[in-house]
Chains A and B, each alone.
Chain A
Amino acid sequence: MTTTDYERNVVLSTNSDFKVIGTRPVRHDGVDKVTGRAIYGADYVASGLLHGKILRSPHAHARIISIDTSKAEALNGVRAVVTSADFPRVENKTVELGEDETKLLDLRGNVLANDKVLYVGHAVAAVAASNPHVAEEALSLIDVKYEVLKSVMTTDEAMAEGAIILHENQTTEELGTDSGIVSNVAKHFQHVKGNIEQGFKDADIIVEREYNTKTVHQGYIEPHNGTALWSADGRLHIWCSTQGSFVVRDSLSDLLDIPVSKIRVTPTEIGGGFGGKIPIYVEPVAALLSKKTGTPVKIVMTRKETFEGSGPTPGSKIKIKVGAKLDGKITAAHAWMAMEAGAYAGSPVGAAAQCVFATYDLDNALIDGLDVVVNKPKTAAYRAPGSPNAAFGMEQALNELAEKIGMDPIDFRLKNVASEGTRRPDGPVFQRIGAKEVLEAMRDHPHYQSSKANGIGRGIAIGFWFNIGFDSACNIALNKDGTVNLIEGSTDIGGSRTSIAMQAAEVLGIAAEDVRPSIVDTDTVGFTAVTGGSRTTFATGWAAYEAAQDVKAQCIERAANIWDVKSSSLQMEDGIISSMSDSELKMTLKELAEQMSSTGGGITGRAAINPRGVGGSFCGNIADVSIDEETGKISVERFTCVQDAGKAIHPSYVEGQMQGGSVQGIGWALNEEYFMSNEGKMNNSSLLDYRMPTALDLPMIDTVIVEVANPGHPFGVRGVGEANIVPPTPTIANAVYDLTGNRMTELPMTPGSVLAANNK
């Protein structure tokens, strides 16, 4: 183990007046996870279980002329074959997908192609058979005739004059107005603040560059999976790995045209999601196959299918122009961002626009966003979607300006930093935020204060994610031994069941270990939105807080009845109910719980909320890199992550999120991309060739948790799951510049691109 002369994991706490919050209990699901006892979707077994496999398009863009399934259906062991024709006819309404919305026919077309395939890997048909091998053999017997069309793979190709059009009925939407122009640009929007022309006239120095990023996958270890049982009574039960069981339920209801009350979704344990497990892929296909066969059908994607047939985050082209006075005050900034939506409209460019300038207090700003369809898989969310792409450009531009002005890059940012009352270019005014505190913690960190060794380049950057609220429900039942059972609907992708349980424990004055949290199916708990947008510890934690307050109020009422006093004379603190006027009247929660049945029955608290008060989170990095002169390989030698958590409920989980987001961002910076052939085929669709960083590639990520309490949450929580992936790419690019003098404007920064820049 390496020793250091500083603390590697620091919590800069503003409020430590808690008993449970801020501690580091062992996670409730820890033993099951490390002993292999936890049940994941692929583990599902049932009597008569059939195995489904999906036939996928070999073409990036083609019209489907015909599909002949007769030979496959005749194969011994095959029980059913389905295509998009097996979906019921539905109205092309807009449907909600957790945090996102889409047209129903686009959703259906992505699950099983309608008349066209729009990317290599696009699902065309599916088979259910007695075992996976027979199902695979049957796929080879399905005869699909295609009319192959030219494809478009980049925003440049898609927006070019006379470009091949993916959707003949898609016209550009301009914030509520249909332009009527058939185009691959699904949406164009603009945010304007102040006078951008005057702002640039007032600038002493202007920097302007174009930045390009590639398609990147979330890289969750567990592939998509789903098992469906469509019973004879018309009820559908789904077991799957998802970030939102209610999203799966509601999407299936829309696609299959059956009431939500007839669908039950049981979320299994999830082996990573990062946004990519919000959309549905195999669940409706398994449902159609189960409806035809009357037996349960399980579909598990391969790794290749996960890369080619699920939703990565987009490649993008971004132009950033920023002007500043010689004293370091930014006078104007313009961002133009075109993002690949993939096969159907819906890139995260809108979110990118909310983040690109959010860290700074700008008088004059202009943001143009374009959502562009291309012949790649439909993009899905990935940690702070869109924001890392935007920050890659903006945060390099700021370092460039700081250098030209002659200011330290952190001081330059501090001179322009946003704070409470700052109006973002997209409109909203910030409540209390921690951007300044994060920058100050970076500046004061031993890493930034240390001198650099020879051959080391140092970079910094900061990023933002706004976080969301949305619906959450929680029920808490008091047990007779004073422990509680907590049920909630937020699938746990990062340790949230413990952070939620800790908030209930804090209210009830009991240990975190005395709360037993369970994540249950959609029949068993109230509507709960997706685990995404860094909302779960904030919103479902708040629901647990409210449900625990309900339990607490009932306990006080029950004690008042027992002692024949007014409930207003009692209090409950640290798990003890006591009178505020009579010191003799005192009992523990456990003592009360033992009397539940004889004093009125069980005590159950509940809450269903859709909270306001969401607090955005800022995250900054400091990175030291070295470069192998012969190969151009960049090595990260030291990396520090600083993030505002509002209040870290479980600091180890917050540190885990910060380290995980940092590592994913470093992978995005250095290695990860979809290598696409000219024909639109992904050439590296395995984890051997799609190179994600491992523990052996990186140093330990040092963390600093800054706590600027969110006034909108009972405990001050801000979500921490996403902002940490935003700054790594510009941080490393700035470090490379510091070492080489070369501005890296393309991701990933491969050894080849480093050598090419050196040789320019």
Chain B
Amino acid sequence: MALVFIPSQMRTLSEGKNRVEVEGTNVKQIIENLDLMYPGFSGRLLEDFKIKPSISIAVDGEITPMGLIEKVSENSEVHFLPAISGG
């Protein structure tokens, strides 16, 4: 199962856990299953069936431009990060 890292500001949803193993083959399934385990994550992460603009998803260390359809493998790490800008 993929390892999902829970940011400190979302740990009230995950009973304080900072890492959770979640089943899923893409980001959409990961968030859906995370929400089943710990209700509230979908509301924190999604808006109009898309990742909220203020949040970036990193899979295996790279921020993905693919959003919910980004593939996730058995050994993947998934991070939720604040969206950032560059120069």
Chain A contact residues, CB within 8 Å of chain B: 94, 99-101, 173-177, 187, 189-192, 274-275, 346, 348, 350-351, 353-354, 369, 381-385, 426-431, 465, 467-471, 532-535, 610, 612-614, 721-722
Contacts and interface: CB of A to CB of B under 8 A. Distances in A.
Contacts of B80: 175-176
B85 A351 contact: yes
A427 B81 contact: yes
B62 A189 contact: no
Nearest to B48: A93
Contacts of A381: 85-87
Nearest to B61: A428
B39 interface: no
Contacts of A346: 85
A427 B5 contact: yes
Interface in B1-34: 5, 7-10, 18
Contacts of B62: 428, 469, 612-614
B79 A427 contact: yes
B65 A348 contact: no
Interface string B25-65: 00000000000000000011100000011110010111101
Contact of B10 (A176, A354, A532): A176
Given A384-B87, A427-B5, A369 B82 contact: yes
Interface residues of B, number: 29
Question: Most chain-B Cβ atoms within 10 A of its Cβ — which of A189, A348, A430?
Answer: A189
6 contacts: A99-B84, A101-B53, A175-B82, A192-B7, A534-B86, A612-B62
A348 B85 contact: yes
A190 B87 contact: no
Given A381-B87, A382-B87, A175 B58 contact: no
Nearest to A426: B81
A468 B7 contact: no
A191 B18 CA distance: 11
B18 to A, nearest CB: 7
B65 A470 contact: yes
A387 to B, nearest CB: 9
Interface residue SS majority, chain B: mixed
B58 A428 contact: yes
Contact of A175 (B7, B43, B61, B86): B7
Given A429-B61, A469-B65, A175 B87 contact: no
Contacts of A429: 60-61, 77
B83 interface: yes
Given A176-B10, A177-B9, A610-B65, A275 B53 contact: no
A204 to B, nearest CB: 27
B85 A385 contact: yes
Contacts of A353: 82
A191 B87 contact: no
Contacts of A275: 86-87
B44 to A, nearest CB: 4
Question: Most chain-B Cβ atoms within 10 A of its Cβ — which of A100, A175, A613?
Answer: A175
A534 B84 CA distance: 14
A534 B55 CA distance: 21
B53 A94 contact: yes
A351 B44 contact: no
A262 to B, nearest CB: 25
A192 B58 contact: no
A465 B45 CA distance: 26
Contact of B18 (A187, A192, A612): A192
B87 A187 contact: no
Contacts of A99: 84-86
Question: Most chain-A Cβ atoms within 10 A of its Cβ — which of B77, B85, B87?
Answer: B87
Given A175-B10, A427-B5, A350 B65 contact: no
Given A175-B7, A176-B45, A353-B82, 8 more contacts: A189-B7, A275-B86, A348-B84, A351-B85, A354-B81, A369-B82, A385-B86, A427-B79
B61 to A, nearest CB: 4
Given A101-B53, A174-B9, A175-B44, A430 B87 contact: no
B86 A190 contact: no
B22 to A, nearest CB: 15
Contacts of A722: 86-87
Contact of B85 (A100, A175, A431, A612): A100
Contacts of A465: 86
Contacts of A610: 65
A176 B55 contact: yes
A101 B83 contact: yes
A116 B84 CA distance: 27
A187 B82 contact: yes
Contacts of B7: 175, 189-192
A161 to B, nearest CB: 23
B37 to A, nearest CB: 17
A109 B60 CA distance: 38
Given A101-B53, A430-B61, A612-B62, A189 B87 contact: no
A532 B8 contact: no
A20 B58 CA distance: 35
A533 B9 contact: no
A383 B87 CA distance: 5
Contacts of A187: 54, 82
B9 A385 contact: no
A532 B87 contact: yes
Contacts of B52: 176
A176 B60 CA distance: 21
A428 B3 CA distance: 12
Contacts of A174: 9
A385 B87 CA distance: 6
Nearest to A367: B8
Contacts of A351: 84-86
A640 B43 CA distance: 50
Question: Most chain-B Cβ atoms within 10 A of its Cβ — which of A174, A431, A534?
Answer: A174
